Amino acid sequence: MNTQTKHIAIIGAGLVGSLLSIYLSRRGYRVSVFERRDDLRKDVRQQGRSINLALSARGIRALEEVGLAAEVRKLAVPMHGRMMHDRKGTLTFQPYGRQGQYINSISRAGLNGMLISKAEENNVRFFFNRRCTAVDLAGTSASFQSASGDLQTQTFDVVVGADGAFSAVRSAMQVTDRFDYSQEYLQHGYKELHIPAGKSGDHVMEKNALHIWPRESYMMIALPNTDGSFTCTLFFPFEGDLSFASLTDDDRIISFFKEVFPDALPLLAALTEEFNRNPTGSLVTVRCFPWVRNQTLLIGDAAHAIVPFYGQGMNAGFEDCRMLNVLLDQYAGNWPQALGTFQQMRKRDCDAISHLAYDNFVEMRDLVADPGFLLRKKIEAKIHELYPEKWIPLYSMVTFHDDISYWQAYTTGKKQEKIMDAVMSQPQISSRWQQLDFDKIVKELD
C-alpha cells in the first residue's frame, strides 16, 4: 500500500472527520484530528444542540467497510415509517418503503463518541480545544490556538477540512481566486425538546416510527432513542405572529403547544424549562467549489451543508469518506488524482441532495397530511409493487439504494414527478386509480 503521503491533518472531530480518520488510519497513514471544542465524550454542554440522526443505506455501507456497522446498529432504533399526528391527535402511518426497509434513529453524540473512540483504537491522535485560526493552502500548513491561547503552526502532507458548515478551512479557500461560494438560511430555526420514557422505561408512543406533527408553515418531529425516550425537534419560524420570537413566556409556550400539539403536550415533561434553556439553531445550505486547493480538501458539511429534512446530511458525509477511499484505491494512493476526481464526482451528487432536502421540508411540513398527496404516494407504491426494478420511488432511491447516486435519483425523480402530475390530473382519479394502465405509465420512464 502506498503511504507516500505520511501525515494527514483532519480539521474537525465531528462525524465525518472521525469516520474519515478511521478510513485513512486503516490505509497506514499517520492521522491527527484537531477539534476546537472539548472532547464531547466528557462535555455534556453539547446536549440540546442537535437533531437526532437518521442513519440509512449510504451511511451503513461506509460503516460496514470499516467494520463498525453492527456495533452502530446497537445504538439505533429502527423506524419503518412516518407516524403523522393531526391537531386532534389522530394517527396515520406511512411506511418508508417495502416490508423490511427502515431507517435508523441514532444520537449524534453517541455515534460521534463511538467513532472517536474507535479512531483512537486505530492510532488516530485527537487534539481537542484546538481552534484552527489559519490555513496556508500553498504550504499545506495550519495554525491552531489552544484553550490557553497558545498558537502553534504545523505542516502536513494533506489537510482535510471536515469542520462543518462554518468551516475555518473553507474560509481560507474563500479568499482565493475563482472560488464560488453561497450560503442560504431558512427562515425557520429549530429547538430540541425531550419526551422521557414511561414509568417502566418503555416508549410512550410507537417506538419504530419517526413521528411528525405537520402544521403547514411549521412542524415538530420526534425520533426514538434506545432508552425509551424521544428526541423532539420543533422547526418554527424565527420571526412572525407564530414564531420563536412570539413565544416570549411560559404561558404562551404552554398555550401554543396545547392548541397545536395537544397530544404531545402531556408527554413533554419539562417543556418550558427545555424551551427556555435549549438554544434555537439555524438551518443553512452551503454550496461552494472547488473543494480542493493543492493538497487541502473540503469534505462533508464544510463542502456541502444541507438542511436536515431528507435525513441525508450524515449519510452524504459518510458516503464522501467511502468514495474518497475508493478513489485512493483506484489511483494507488495518488492523492492529487484522487482529490481531483473526488470533487468532480461528488459535487453534482451533493448539489442534488441539497435540492432534495429542501423539497422534502415542504413535503413534510405541508403535504404529508394532504389527501391528494397521500393518494399520489399510494399510486406510486402500487407501481413499485408491480414493477419493483423499473419504478423505484424517489425516497427509496435516496434512502435504501446506495448503488443509485443522488444525481441519478434526483433526475429520475423529476421524470417520475412529471409522469405523476399527468396521472393525478386525470378525471375521477381518486375513484378509478386502480384501473390505470400501469404498464404504460412505467414505459414513460424509458
What is the Cα–Cα distance from 268 to 380, expressed in whole angstroms? 36
pLDDT of 369 over the 70 cut:
no
Confidence of residue 98 (pLDDT cuts 50, 70, 90): confident
Most distant CA atoms of the chain, gap in Å: 73
pLDDT of 368 over the 60 cut:
no
Which of 200, 198, 141 has the alpha carbon at shortest distance from 9?
A: 141
pTM of the full structure:
0.94
Confidence of residue 2 (pLDDT cuts 50, 70, 90): very low
- Asked whether the beta carbons of 48 and 278 are under 8 A apart, the reply is yes
Confidence of residue 353 (pLDDT cuts 50, 70, 90): very high
pLDDT value, residue 365 = 64
Q: What's the whole-number mean pLDDT along residues 86-114?
A: 92
Indicate the SS3 state at residue 85: strand
Q: How many CB atoms lie within 10 A of CB 423?
A: 18
- Asked whether the beta carbons of 161 and 140 are under 8 A apart, the reply is no
Which of 20, 68, 58, 64 has the alpha carbon at shortest distance from 310?
A: 58
- Which DSSP helix (H) or strand (E) runs through 194? strand 180-195
Distance (Å) of CA 56 to CA 100, 236, 308, 313, 318: 13, 26, 13, 11, 11
Express each pLDDT in 289-342 by its tens digit: 999 999 999 999 999 999 999 999 999 999 999 999 999 999 999 999 999 999
Q: What's the whole-number mean pLDDT along residues 240-262?
A: 97
Confidence of residue 398 (pLDDT cuts 50, 70, 90): very high
Q: What is the DSSP string of 121-158?
A: HTT-EEE-SEEEEEEETTTTEEEEEETT--EEEEE-SE
What is the Cα–Cα distance from 260 to 409, expressed in whole angstroms? 35
Q: What percent of the chain has pLDDT over 70?
A: 96
Which of 146, 135, 185 has the alpha carbon at shortest distance from 358?
A: 185
Distance (Å) of CA 178 to CA 175, 273, 289, 298: 9, 48, 9, 16
- Asked whether the beta carbons of 294 and 339 are under 8 A apart, the reply is no
pLDDT of 1 over the 50 cut:
no
Which of 342, 318, 317, 344 has the alpha carbon at shortest distance from 328?
A: 342
